[in-house]
């Protein structure tokens, strides 16, 4: 569904728009009390689909702790999707050379990631014994298999082509992941922006197979050192660097909290999806988002 449609319709039921004048008239007619009678479905539910959302928690066991595990997982999926939406908007604006406006979705993305990180608190009660009460019923289900998380990684520049393979029998999901993998990441768009702003970056960094993960280059690092040397209020590229840093930092926090949660509930056991569990997560954390933005700080 297109973004514009989300503002006016939810399926077959239209959200009825109103105006400030109509709202004031309604409040006056209600003597300041909320409206309690509606001609059809409650407008809030028409827009948010809360009743649908609350029907999606279908646990596999009778253990009450499983509800926390399932719902927190679903909340994280929503945050993955929301963050991807913001990063794509930032990409669109950067491609149009509108750095100032691109700061807005990047700032929102960082805050969404902060909310995503907070979701881990809902599972801090879980011990290995708590998890083991329902873990076997999950079969081979694993967070590793989250297509939206994979979209998020790809958008941030963490690219491993083989990781789309689990989705080959889900044609729409597989095709969407392949499209993102073949397109420039957010970091690639930043590099193209820097080149358009006069920084001398190698053609090999700008025109390459985007499905292959970006390899850090000294020219990009030098560009950021030069950008940060100008601390004037009109230096939009420096503001861009800080917005990207916040996104990378929050995403790094999520990866670390994920590792902590696995260690808390599983120790060094094998993962449900066939991986080595915590050991696999530790290795994956070595891949850095926006690498030259971090390495440049040594030379600043």
Residues making up the binding site for substrate: 135
Residue 299 exposed, middle or buried by CB count within 10 Å (0-12, 13-18, 19+): exposed
Distance in Å from the first CA to the final CA of the chain: 45
**Pairing mode, strands 13-14 and 9-10:** antiparallel
d(CA 159, CA 284): 11
Cite the annotated binding site for heme by residue number.
258
Nearest alpha-carbon partner for 261 in 133, 92, 94, 131: 131
Cα 187 versus chain centre, distance: 15
Phi, psi of 10 (to 5 degrees): -130, 95
The SS3 assignment for 10 reads: strand
Radius of gyration in angstroms for the set of CA atoms belonging to the chain, rounded to a whole number: 23
261, 264, 281 from 267: Cα distances, Å: 9, 6, 12
Residue 173, number of CB atoms within 10 A of its CB = 17
Cite the annotated binding site by residue number.
135, 258
The SS3 assignment for 58 reads: coil
d(CA 146, CA 165): 12
Nearest alpha-carbon partner for 210 in 148, 284, 155: 155
Both tokens of residue 69?
């595990």
d(CA 239, CA 152): 22
């Amino acid at each position: 569904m297109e973004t514009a449609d989300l503002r006016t319709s939810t399926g077959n039921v239209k959200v009825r728009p109103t105006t400030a004048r109509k709202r004031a008239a309604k409040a006056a007619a209600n003597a300041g009390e909320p409206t309690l009678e509606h001609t059809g479905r409650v407008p809030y539910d028409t827009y948010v689909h809360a009743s649908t959302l609350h029907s999606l928690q279908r646990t596999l066991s009778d253990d009450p702790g499983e509800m926390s595990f399932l719902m927190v997982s679903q909340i994280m999926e929503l945050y993955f999707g929301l963050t991807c939406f913001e990063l794509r908007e930032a990409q669109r604006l950067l491609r149009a050379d509108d750095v100032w406006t691109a700061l807005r979705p990047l700032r929102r993305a960082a805050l969404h990631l902060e909310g995503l990180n907070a979701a881990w608190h809902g599972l801090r009660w879980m011990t290995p014994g708590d998890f083991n009460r329902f873990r076997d019923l999950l079969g081979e289900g694993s967070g590793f298999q989250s297509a939206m998380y994979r979209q998020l990684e790809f958008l941030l520049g963490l690219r491993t082509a083989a990781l789309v393979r689990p989705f080959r029998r889900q044609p729409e999901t597989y095709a969407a992941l392949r499209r993102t993998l073949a397109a420039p990441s957010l970091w690639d768009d930043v590099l193209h922006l820097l080149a358009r702003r006069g920084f001398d970056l190698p053609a090999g960094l700008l025109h390459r197979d985007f499905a292959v993960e970006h390899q850090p280059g000294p020219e990009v690092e030098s560009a950021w050192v030069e950008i940060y040397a100008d601390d004037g209020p009109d230096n939009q590229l420096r503001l861009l660097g800080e917005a990207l840093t916040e996104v990378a930092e929050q995403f790094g926090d999520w990866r670390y909290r994920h590792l902590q949660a696995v260690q808390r509930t599983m120790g060094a056991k094998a993962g449900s999806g066939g991986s080595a569990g915590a050991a696999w997560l530790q290795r994956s954390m070595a891949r850095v988002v926006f690498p030259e933005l971090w390495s440049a700080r040594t030379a600043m």
